[in-house]
């Protein structure tokens, strides 16, 4: 193999794919090069196209390998072979872009040459961009949850799907989670599919509340989160056979349900999958033969709504939806009493009447220190209301959270949260958490897995990780103050 400045042309079913810098190392620890990635996708092309082919794909590019910067690219490069198909897709923001639609192995090789390690398909076919044909169940463990707990939740997912007449096709995520895809008939809108996913998440939570959660806010989660919002329009997840940016080049591997109960994520890597695929084929080969109906899930959703479980929060960059609850984390939400106090405060400063305006003019005419009786009466009433807002029913001087907010200009959180660090690299952010734990061992000993909040923030073209810690289970005398962030990397994009 020559130096990184060389190029190589590969013939893929009669199409010529140029691979620039084929010896460039993409995975330093595993010694995997760009050409290795290209050859991997050619080896598993049939399965990868079953999951991502014929669909618009977001390009997730790692041009410098997993240790370099990466970015999301929705617009297909203007300079591309004529045989690379694109389709115009419109986003919730109102913008639109032409995205790549891979149809064959050559397109996958071309994408790999761009540094696309992962395939990120939308759940729609290029021929019908408004009606999804896939329901996506994303099992996302909170920090500290181990693989066996995910397997236990996945077993419940399998049972619930069967009870609802649905056929699920599981795969490892290639990271820490599990994905289960359900082929559906393209009859329902994105909003309906998302609502069905929410109903399913709540059903699994009902069956195993100690293991699973449907709560959107990280500070409320425990165990395994079923991310229903992965079914919102414009959301994508790593497709089948995607190579993930992990040091050992783990892969999002389709498996059978029986295999899922026995396997480990590290069993499936770029090095091991081609041989497995050649010997066993694709475990999801029959997925398109089993399109399902969402009728039972939508009926379940209607029953849940009748019982008081309406919609749940949407992702932050989506427009406010009809029937959506407050899109505010519980720790930043005002208490009911605070809301009532705020209402009183607003009443106290309502617009003055015409009589009061006239009295105020007279006061101005009389000069400083001279006020009419009406003006004094109005001021006295406002002062009384303000005093009432800051005291309890017994007349004590106990200050409410609303009064504190009025005094400081800041919300009073329900839970004691501190931020540890932020970085474009999740591994670097988690390393900062370990350094924080080493500095505060007594505090760390009181933390529960759900107390560590790993916020994976996505921008228009990249992503970064923020680490926060909830100290509610830590005795007050052991709670450290907010420190300088470690690490404190500024995200290299706007969002």
3-state secondary structure (DSSP) of residue 424: coil
- Cα angle, residue 281 at apex, residues 278 and 287 outer, rounded to 5°: 155
**pLDDT at residue 89 above 90?**
yes
Q: How far apart are CA 63 and CA 285, in angstroms?
A: 31
The pLDDT value given to residue 345: 44
- Cα angle, residue 147 at apex, residues 145 and 150 outer, rounded to 5°: 80
Mean pLDDT of 456-473: 80
**pLDDT at residue 15 above 60?**
yes
**pLDDT at residue 380 above 50?**
no
pLDDT tens readout for residues 330-371: 888 765 434 444 444 444 444 455 544 444 444 444 444 444
**pLDDT at residue 255 above 50?**
yes
pLDDT tens readout for residues 277-315: 999 999 999 999 999 999 999 999 999 999 999 999 998
Which CATH architecture best describes the domain 134-238+290-312? 2-Layer Sandwich (3.30)
Average pLDDT of every residue of the chain: 85
What DSSP line would sit under 391-418, residue for residue?
Answer: S-TT---PPPHHHHHHHHSS---SS-EE
pLDDT band (50, 70, 90) for residue 460: low
Q: How far apart are CA 241 and CA 246, in angstroms?
A: 14
**419 close to 219: Cβ distance less than 8 angstroms:** no
Provide the CB-side half-sphere exposure for 427 (13 A, CA): 6
Mean pLDDT of 401-430: 70
In the numeric block, the tokens 């193999």 are attached to 1
The pLDDT value given to residue 5: 52
pLDDT band (50, 70, 90) for residue 413: low
pLDDT tens readout for residues 65-86: 999 999 999 999 999 999 999 9
For residue 127, the tally of other CB atoms under 10 A from its CB is: 9
Supply the DSSP symbol for 311. Answer: -
The pLDDT value given to residue 360: 46
**465 close to 423: Cβ distance less than 8 angstroms:** yes
Q: How far apart are CA 432 and CA 7, in angstroms?
A: 39
**136 close to 196: Cβ distance less than 8 angstroms:** no
Q: Is the peptide bond before 487 cis (omega within 30 degrees of 0)?
A: yes
- Alpha-carbon distance values, 254 to 233, 242, 265, 275, 400 (Å): 24, 10, 11, 14, 54
Q: Which pair of tokens denotes residue 489?
A: 């990397």
Name the more confident of 17 and 425: 17
Domain extents in the chain: 7-122, 134-238+290-312, 417-478
Poorest-confidence range of 178-182, 253-257, 436-440? 436-440
Across the beta sheet with 417-423, the strand order is 417-423, 463-470, 452-458
Mean pLDDT of 396-420: 57
Assigned superfamily of 7-122: DNA primase, PRIM domain (3.90.920.10)
- Alpha-carbon distance values, 303 to 44, 268, 300, 306, 350 (Å): 43, 40, 5, 5, 43
**pLDDT at residue 400 above 80?**
no
The pLDDT value given to residue 434: 87
Q: What global pTM score does this model have?
A: 0.71
User: Exposure pattern of 170-206 as b/e (b: 16+ CB <10 Å)?
Assistant: bbbbbbbbbbbbbbbebebebebbbbbbbbbbbbbbe
For residue 456, the tally of other CB atoms under 10 A from its CB is: 12
Bridge-partner residues for 101, per DSSP? 85
The pLDDT value given to residue 491: 57
**132 close to 233: Cβ distance less than 8 angstroms:** no
Q: Which pair of tokens denotes residue 461?
A: 């073209």
Q: Which pair of tokens denotes residue 320?
A: 């406010």
Bridge-partner residues for 269, per DSSP? 250
pLDDT tens readout for residues 199-221: 999 999 999 999 999 999 999 99
pLDDT band (50, 70, 90) for residue 142: very high
Name the residue among 31, 13, 40 with its Cα closest to residue 113: 40
- Cα angle, residue 59 at apex, residues 58 and 61 outer, rounded to 5°: 150
The pLDDT value given to residue 202: 98
The pLDDT value given to residue 59: 96
- Cα angle, residue 200 at apex, residues 268 and 458 outer, rounded to 5°: 60
pLDDT tens readout for residues 26-62: 999 999 999 999 999 999 999 999 999 999 999 999 9
Residue 446 phi/psi, 5-degree rounding, is: -95, -5
pLDDT tens readout for residues 154-188: 999 999 999 999 999 999 999 999 999 999 999 99
pLDDT tens readout for residues 98-140: 999 999 999 999 999 999 999 999 999 999 999 999 999 999 9
Long-range contacts of 71-78 (CB under 8 A, 24+ apart): 71/461, 71/462, 71/493, 72/120, 72/458, 72/459, 72/460, 72/461, 72/462, 72/463, 73/461, 74/99, 75/99, 76/100, 77/114
Q: How far apart are CA 252 and CA 63, in angstroms?
A: 20
The pLDDT value given to residue 71: 93
The pLDDT value given to residue 364: 46
């Amino acid at each position: 193999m020559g130096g990184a400045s060389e190029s190589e042309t590969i013939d893929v079913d009669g199409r010529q794919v140029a691979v620039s810098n084929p010896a460039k190392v993409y995975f330093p620890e595993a010694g995997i090069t760009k050409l290795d990635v290209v050859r991997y996708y050619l080896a598993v092309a049939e399965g990868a196209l079953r999951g991502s082919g014929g669909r618009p794909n977001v390009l997730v590019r790692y041009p410098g390998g997993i240790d370099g910067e990466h970015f999301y690219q929705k617009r297909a490069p203007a300079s591309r072979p004529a045989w690379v198909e694109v389709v115009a897709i419109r986003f919730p923001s109102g913008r639109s872009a032409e995205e790549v639609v891979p149809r064959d192995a050559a397109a996958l090789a071309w994408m790999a040459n761009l540094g696309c390690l992962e395939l990120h398909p939308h759940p729609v076919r290029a021929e019908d961009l408004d009606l999804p044909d896939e329901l996506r169940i994303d099992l996302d463990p909170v920090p500290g949850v181990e693989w066996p707990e995910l397997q236990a939740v996945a077993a419940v997912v399998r049972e619930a799907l069967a009870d609802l007449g649905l056929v699920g096709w599981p795969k490892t995520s290639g990271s820490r989670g599990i994905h289960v895809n359900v082929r559906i008939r393209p009859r329902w809108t994105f909003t309906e599919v998302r609502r069905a996913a929410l109903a399913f998440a709540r059903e699994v939570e009902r069956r195993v509340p100690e293991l699973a959660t449907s709560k959107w806010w990280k500070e409320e989660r425990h165990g395994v989160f079923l991310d229903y919002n992965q079914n919102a329009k414009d959301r994508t997840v790593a497709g089948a056979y995607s190579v993930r940016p992990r040091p050992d080049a783990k892969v999002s591997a389709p498996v059978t349900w029986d295999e899922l109960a026995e396997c480990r994520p590290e069993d499936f890597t770029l090095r091991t999958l081609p041989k497995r695929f050649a010997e066993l084929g694709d475990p999801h080969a029959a997925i398109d033969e089993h399109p399902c109906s969402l009728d039972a899930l939508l009926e379940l959703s209607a029953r849940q709504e009748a019982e008081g479980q309406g919609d749940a929060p949407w992702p932050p960059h989506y427009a406010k939806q009809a029937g959506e609850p407050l899109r505010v984390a519980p720790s930043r939400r005002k208490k009911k009493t605070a809301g009532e106090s705020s209402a009183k405060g607003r009443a106290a400063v309502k617009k003055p009447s015409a009589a009061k305006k006239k009295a105020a003019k007279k006061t101005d005419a009389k000069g400083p220190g001279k006020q009419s009786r009406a003006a004094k009466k109005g001021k006295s009433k406002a002062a009384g209301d303000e005093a009432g807002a800051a005291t309890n029913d017994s007349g004590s001087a106990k200050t409410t959270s609303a009064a504190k907010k009025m005094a400081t200009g800041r919300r009073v959180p329900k839970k004691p949260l501190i931020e540890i660090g932020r970085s474009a690299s999740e591994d670097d952010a988690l390393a900062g958490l370990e350094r924080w734990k080493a500095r505060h061992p007594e505090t760390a000993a009181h933390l529960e897995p759900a107390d560590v909040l790993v916020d994976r923030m996505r921008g228009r073209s990249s992503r970064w990780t923020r680490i926060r810690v909830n100290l509610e289970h830590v005795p007050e005398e052991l709670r450290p103050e907010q420190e300088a962030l470690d690490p404190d990397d500024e995200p290299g994009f706007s969002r």
